[in-house]
Amino acid sequence: MALFFTLTSAAMAGCADRQPSKSCDNDFQWQIDRFADVNILRYQIPHWEQLSLRQKELLYYLGEAAIWGRDIIYDQNYRHNLAIRRVLESIYRGYEGDRTSPDWAHFEVYLKRVWFSNGIHHLYSTDKFFPDFSAEYFAALIEGTPLELFPSDIPATEGLFEYLSPLIFSNDVALKRVNQAEGVDMVANSANNFYRNLTQAEVQQFYAELRIPDDPTPISYGLNSQLVKENGEIFERVWSKEGMYGSAIERVVFWLEKAASVAENPHQQKVINTLIEHYRSGDLKLFDEYSILWLGVLHSQVDFVNGFIETYGDPLGYKASWESVVNFKDEEATLRTEVIGANAQWFEDHSPIDSQFKKSEVKGVTAKVINVTTLGGDCYPATPIGINLPNADWIRKEYGSKSVTIENIIYAYDRASIGNGFIEEFAWSDEEVERAREHGFLARVLHTDLHECLGHGSGQLAPGIRGDELKNYGAALEEARADLFALYFMMDTKMIELGVMTSLEVAHAAYDSYIRNGMLTQLTRIELGNNLEQAHMRNRQLVAKWCYHHGKESNVIERRVRDGRTYFVVNDYQALRELFAMLLKEVQRIKSTGDFEAGRDLVETYGVMIERDLHAEVLERFAKLGIAPYSGFVNPRLIPVYKQGQIIDVKVEYVEGYIEQMMRYSNDYSSLPTYN
């Protein structure tokens, strides 16, 4: 898939300071809020003042388009999310009772969690989370809030408590947003709003019948629609300006039209206009046309992602969540990714996969380092640190892919994690800690570069394979494939020859971190007793645990215990690289041939189950550090300056808090009806 996530600021602990080309304001407030298991951070926009007025105006318009899609992701995640969010916000805005009690504090935390996850299900585990206040207190909150403040389009407005209480408090309602447990009906048992009144078998049959055999340029069937069954008839509700989510998409289009008027060049203008046409009609052939044109945006500094793109939220991998990332290229840092991208054919030729699955000609690989200016939809408040698009395999094969490393987000994670004690707690030795401090930041960004720039775009499918045969295991296996590609080449002296790193110690730091995270530290984000659900987390454990078990005889990775604390230590980096190569070869074979059974066995054996005693130990150690395992961001506020009706500048402000931004977005950027 396309996103490369970093899920916690703790994971960035120990990274060396940013490269000297970046300025750092030591007085900048990186962390601005903390609640439940979440840190809320700010990110800076470096080099803003170096942009032209036209570029600033373009970024402002694209940013407005990004914010206007916010309601869509709430509704996609769960059909009652907008009702719940709007009622909670009405209470926050107008409750006339005591706002100093512990229960009120619990209410605020619950509202903040709903904002962070774009709904009532945990962003990563996708489990429903529950308030720390009682249903009786919720009834009192509703009673203590003027009725006219509540949304008028919620059914049974006079009985809000009776209507909403089961949705929020019941242990029998909507317990899992994305349920990929083996053996369950993944449609009927998932709470997302992609399907209505359907079974998994019905969905799969519907889309199987739409496919055209041997179509060399297949559209991504179902990508931008809700599939519904009514009166025995199955049909799609397309997400478009004239269809479902039309009122929000209309506002997105309005700002995209303004963006097109100040595009940097005709090609970029055509890209934006083609996306607009796709939004107007919902035609997926236009989305493919837009994606191909978007790949050709090579001479513009400003760029963006906007649309129904990633399918992580659908257990079957058909439906895409709405997202947006607005950004501009960091010219200096991009030199690193350009060197890697320019050698894409060398990496493909030297990949350890079977030759029949290698591309004889790598096309259109472009990569850059970006600074994000606005995050939206499924990329807000939590955001990826890297992106590789488009997702359609045939477009990748014929036209290539475009990759980005989001460096100002990585930097914000890094700065917020300084001195938190995380690396010292989970690294075995002082040598490992020092290696992380000296080389960790470069190891992280290079791994992201390779993962996004080359990993996702590497390899090819066998003739007759569509790319969706791996079904619910496809996302985890694709992330494993890209990670393994990056890890394998991190230890290649070619990286030194290319000048992107000076020592293999950078690769050693990457290997230390990856094994430590896959085997230990990512468990800090999972409740005790649960297993792994999120694709990136399954991927990391799969890779680390497979290598641990297959390297056990020669002690490549050693499990050590000291003072009751468990560590995983890499003893032989070269041997570990060879294990990465073996696993990469197998994962590529699975993807290229569509071997569902082998893919399922690999994920279920190594990527899902968590060792309970180890998990309990990790959680106990982590709790003592007082670190939140997840992080998200508020956006800087872009404020246009007008003179005689014309924008003469766009200023950046970093003063808005988390609650203030969320309430402002809900007040000013919410156009969807409560139920869609």
**Angle (nearest 5°) at CA 299 between 295 and 304:** 55
Q: Taking a C-beta distance cutoff of 8 angstroms, is the pair 318, 188 a contact?
A: no
Mean pLDDT of the chain: 93
Query: What residue ranges in 586-676 does DSSP mark as E strands?
Result: 630-634, 637-643, 646-653
Contact 539, 634 (CB under 8 A): no
According to the model, what pLDDT value does residue 363 have?
A: 83
Let me know how long the chain is. 676
* Both structure tokens of 235: 């049909």
List pLDDT tens digits, range 577-609.
999 999 999 999 999 999 999 999 999 999 999
**Mode of pairing for the β-strands spanning 233-238 and 225-230:** antiparallel
471: its two tokens:
């079904």
Q: Kindly report which listed range (229-233, 242-246, 387-391, 417-421) carries the lowest average pLDDT score.
A: 417-421
Q: How many CB atoms lie within 10 A of CB 201?
A: 11
How far is residue 315's CA from residue 119's CA, in Å, rounded to a whole number? 17
Please check whether residue 514 is in contact with residue 540, taking contact to mean a CB–CB distance below 8 angstroms: yes
pLDDT of residue 2: 52
Indicate the Cα dihedral angle 561, 567, 571, 572, nearest 10°: 150
Q: What is the pLDDT of residue 158?
A: 60
50, 44 Cβ separation under 8 angstroms: no
Cβ–Cβ under 8 Å, residues 106 and 173: no
pLDDT of residue 332: 87
> DSSP state, 463?
T
Over residues 303-348, the pLDDT tens digits come to 999 999 999 999 999 999 999 999 999 998 899 988 999 999 999 9
CA-wise closest residue to 584 among 552, 542, 549, 548: 542
Tell me which of 16-30, 248-262, 381-395, 427-441 is least confident: 16-30
Q: Is the backbone of residue 404 left (phi > 0), alpha (psi -120 to 50) or beta?
A: beta
So where are the chain's domains? 3-17+33-47+330-629, 71-177+642-668
CA distance readout (Å), 473 to 268, 468, 597: 35, 10, 10
H runs (alpha helix) in 144-191: 160-169
pLDDT of residue 18: 39
Average pLDDT over residues 150-178: 89
Strands (DSSP E) found in 22-168: 31-35, 38-42
Residue 159: the pLDDT is 86
pLDDT tens-digit profile of 53-63? 999 999 999 99
CB atoms near residue 202 (< 10 Å): 16
Residues 6+ apart with CB under 8 A from 279: 240, 241, 249, 252, 253, 256, 307
Q: Which residues of 88-114 are buried (b: 16+ CB within 10 A; e: fewer)?
A: bbbbbeebeeeeeeebbeebebbbbbb
Kindly state the tokens that stand for 508: 């050693």
- Confidence at residue 21, expressed as pLDDT on a 0 to 100 scale: 39
What pLDDT shows up at residue 16?
35
* pLDDT confidence band for 575 (50 / 70 / 90): very high
Tokens representing 427 are 């690294």
Q: How many CB atoms lie within 10 A of CB 261?
A: 12
Q: How far is CA 349 from CA 256, 356, 359, 576, in A?
A: 40, 11, 8, 21
Is the predicted pLDDT of residue 12 greater than 80, yes or no? no
pLDDT of amino acid 5:
46
- How far apart are the C-alpha atoms of 571 and 22, rounded to whole Å? 35
Q: What is the DSSP letter of 80?
A: T
**Helix, strand, or coil (residue 373):** strand
> What pLDDT, on the 0 to 100 scale, is given for residue 156?
62
| Proportion of the chain above pLDDT 70, given as a percent | 96
Name the strand (E) or helix (H) holding 285: helix 284-295
Tokens of 535: 């694709």
3-state secondary structure of 530: coil
Would you state the structure tokens that stand for residue 209, as one six-digit string?
Answer: 């019948």
631 pLDDT exceeds 80?
yes
pLDDT bucket at 388, cuts 50 / 70 / 90: confident
Q: What is the pLDDT of residues 460-480, one digit of tens each?
A: 999 999 888 998 999 999 999
The rounded distance, in Å, linking the Cα atoms of 364 and 357 is 18
Tell whether the model's pLDDT for residue 240 goes beyond 90: yes
Give pLDDT, residue 366. Answer: 82
Question: Is residue 415's pLDDT more than 50?
Answer: yes
Report strand pairing: 630-634 vs 38-42.
parallel
Q: Is the per-residue pLDDT at 508 higher than 80?
A: yes
Provide CB contacts within 8 A for 319, sequence distance 6+. 76, 192, 194, 222, 223, 225, 226, 227, 308, 311, 313
Of the candidates 410, 319, 559, the one whose C-alpha atom is nearest the C-alpha of residue 12 is 410
| Sheet of 365-377, strand order | 3-5, 384-389, 401-406, 365-377, 321-329, 302-310
Residue-level pLDDT at 6: 44
pLDDT for the residue numbered 26: 64
Average pLDDT over residues 212-234: 96
CA angle 131, 313, 280 (to 5 degrees): 115
Residue 166 β-bridge partners: none
What's the rounded Cα separation, in Å, for the pair 6 and 43?
A: 15
Asked whether 302 and 373 are in contact (CB, 8 A), the reply is no
- Mean pLDDT calculated for residue range 349-353: 98
Q: Where are the alpha helices (DSSP H) in 156-283?
A: 160-169, 200-210, 246-261, 266-281
